[in-house]
Structure 1
């Protein structure tokens, strides 16, 4: 069993620090996801852009 601890990461997109809780780390591990590279703000903006692109393509 891994002992998860809260930590601070640096967003690769904007350079801001962001908090990654032990609970989030455990959830990511259960989903077999890698550590986030982008902060929640940049991630949300990217998701919104993708949704908009999809809507535009569907016309």
Structure 2
């Protein structure tokens, strides 16, 4: 398994998907390669956290 160069779908910059990252994804059972560079992934995660993060099931009472 060799390093792969991937283009980020958000900022169009190229980033390296290393052999170690590929092994980690495989170990976790992830089928898809990352589509965003680490900076865009971090920004997207932060944006989701600012929105209240994750799923909301509303008030049950």
Aligned residues: 53
Shift of 1:7: 1.5
TM-score scaled to structure 1, two decimals?
Answer: 0.81
Aligned counterpart, 2:59: none
Q: Deviations over 1:6-38 (max 9, x none)?
A: 111000111000011101001001111120000
Structure 2 counterparts to residues 1-59 of structure 1, below 5 A: 4-33=1-30, 34-54=32-52
TM-score scaled to structure 2, two decimals?
Answer: 0.79
Structure with max Cα Rg: 2
- 5+ residue gaps, structure 2: 57-61
More helix by share: 1
- 5+ residue gaps, structure 1: none
